Amino acid sequence: MFNIGKIKYSIIHNIAINMLAKKRKMKEDFLEQIKYHDMDKVLNYMVSSVFTTHIKHVSNSNHHLESSYKKNYNDLIEAIMDWEVARYTKSDKPLNAYQTLEKYYPSYKDIILPILKEFNLDNNNIDMDIEIVKKLNNINLSNEDILNYVIDYINYLKDNKIETYYDLDNMILMIYQSLSKDEQLYFKSHMNSDYLKSILKFKRKKRIGLFTHKNAYYDAISSTISLANYISCLTNDEDIEVILVIEDIKKISNNLKAYTKEEVNDIDFDLVIVLDVNEQDRVYGFDLINRVLINNRYVIDHHDKNRVEIEALKTNKMILPSYSSTCEIITELLAFNGFLIPKEMAYNLYKGILSDTFLLERNVTLNTEKMINYLGLTEQEKMDIQCDMNKIDENNLLDKKRKLTL
């Protein structure tokens, strides 16, 4: 399980805030609100980096004062309780709620201080509840325990039709694929919702079509080819055929015969995945996508303004604007599944990252660097790839792209 330490901490933090709220006999509506406190972080930790999870959670959670969402009274109480229990679960966060307000959020004093007084939390000298501390120290979460918390939360979201800031079906699929075989069996057998079966159906599809935009460049081509290779390794099934639908594909590579067809217009795909797109009318072969059931259409992209989702691709989106490139997203998917990336695939993915970061000059995050390291390329190999790109780039497209963003 990826980020296992962070996952365990978040669950124990959830247990702590619920314990303290019940001990203080807080109102039922508040107890209901915090029942799944921070569980969105647990799901994201299972499929994303710590940095990305933190940014997504803080910017999309009502109880974080930094988020742009309008806060009600219970949201402010949840923020206070979040601060108060931090010291219960993490030794490097020794401050109580009042001290946290004083040090980090002094501009919110007029709003928060009256609520702190209401709950007798408005001073520096508040001891931790020893009974709660002892109970928390005795918690030893197994992987099975974690899956139980995750499954319970997912069922809650689906059964109550709770809107999330992430695509839940996509999240479930990614979580499932990140698990070991034994964990996958446990996950499937304990999920209450029938929709899990439909999400996992892609493993049994006959024809999977991978699409990208017209005039595809390094990131689009490399991410699409790499995903095709990965799906083929994952399925290892002669009944499953992966087909690339890329403009002028024969000009791109002579090594893609296994994924190409002379004529694709007559092919009915069981599932389609569209990569690196930001405008619907730029998707090459878009008419073929419209033939496919909407639940079997997927989008993987990093562009901030993704208009493909507006009409024909409303569901199953993995759109991550904080990522440098689609190749970075694909690399992370492979990393989560423990996939050992072959050299040729690593070369392609690195080219895509180089292209969309303008040779690592822009949009490079800690996660980008982490994914580059996962590719396992030597410094000399990286330099050789960059030199090859410069030689191939006869029309100076990289330089043109760089200038367009100035």
Least Cα distance to 215 among 289, 276, 302, 301 occurs for 276
Give the CA angle between residues 370, 218, 344 to the nearest 5°: 65
Give the side-chain half-sphere CA count within 13 A for 178.
22
Domain span holding position 238:
208-404
Assess contact for 6 and 51: CB atoms under 8 A. no
CA separation for the pair 324, 308 (Å, rounded):
19
Lowest model confidence (mean pLDDT) among 226-230, 283-287, 313-317: 313-317
In this structure, the answer to whether residues 60 and 193 fall within a common structural domain is no
CA separation for the pair 164, 172 (Å, rounded):
13
CA separation for the pair 236, 406 (Å, rounded):
45
Provide the 8-state DSSP code for 119: T
In this structure, the answer to whether residues 29 and 167 fall within a common structural domain is no
Looking at residue 271, its pLDDT comes to 86
**Residue at a domain's end among 111, 137, 163:** 137
pLDDT, greater one: 253 or 25 = 25
Q: Is the pLDDT of residue 406 over 50?
A: no
Cα distances from 8 to residues 4, 33, 141, 173, in angstroms, run 6, 21, 7, 21
Kindly state the average pLDDT of the residues 138-146: 94
In this structure, the answer to whether residues 133 and 96 fall within a common structural domain is yes
In this structure, the answer to whether residues 237 and 352 fall within a common structural domain is yes
Looking at residue 398, its pLDDT comes to 47
In this structure, the answer to whether residues 117 and 178 fall within a common structural domain is no
CA separation for the pair 97, 26 (Å, rounded):
16
CA separation for the pair 14, 232 (Å, rounded):
39
Kindly state the average pLDDT of the residues 191-210: 66
Q: Is the pLDDT of residue 251 over 60?
A: no
Q: Is the pLDDT of residue 280 over 80?
A: no
**Residue at a domain's end among 83, 115, 137:** 137
In the block, tokens 């075989």 appear at 181
Please provide the average confidence, as pLDDT, over all residues in the chain. Answer: 84
What six digits make up the tokens of 277? Answer: 């797109």
CA separation for the pair 48, 175 (Å, rounded):
10
In this structure, the answer to whether residues 92 and 176 fall within a common structural domain is no
Q: Is the pLDDT of residue 200 over 90?
A: no
Kindly state the average pLDDT of the residues 60-71: 90
Assess contact for 80 and 115: CB atoms under 8 A. yes
Kindly state the average pLDDT of the residues 348-371: 92
pLDDT, greater one: 176 or 36 = 36
Q: Is the pLDDT of residue 235 over 70?
A: no
In this structure, the answer to whether residues 125 and 260 fall within a common structural domain is no
In this structure, the answer to whether residues 266 and 181 fall within a common structural domain is no
What six digits make up the tokens of 137? Answer: 């120290």
In this structure, the answer to whether residues 266 and 337 fall within a common structural domain is yes
What six digits make up the tokens of 402? Answer: 């760089």
| Reported confidence tier of residue 1, pLDDT bands at 50, 70, 90 | confident
Number of domains the chain is built from: 3
Looking at residue 391, its pLDDT comes to 64
Lowest model confidence (mean pLDDT) among 22-31, 133-142, 223-232: 223-232
In this structure, the answer to whether residues 101 and 155 fall within a common structural domain is no
Q: Is the pLDDT of residue 193 over 60?
A: no
Q: Is the pLDDT of residue 184 over 90?
A: no
Looking at residue 108, its pLDDT comes to 93
Looking at residue 367, its pLDDT comes to 94
Looking at residue 51, its pLDDT comes to 84
Looking at residue 389, its pLDDT comes to 75
Contacts of 304 (CB under 8 A, 6+ apart): 321
- Where does 285-362 have alpha helices with state H? 286-289, 326-336, 343-356
CATH number of the domain where residue 372 is located: 3.90.1640.10
Looking at residue 402, its pLDDT comes to 40
In this structure, the answer to whether residues 35 and 100 fall within a common structural domain is yes
In this structure, the answer to whether residues 80 and 104 fall within a common structural domain is yes
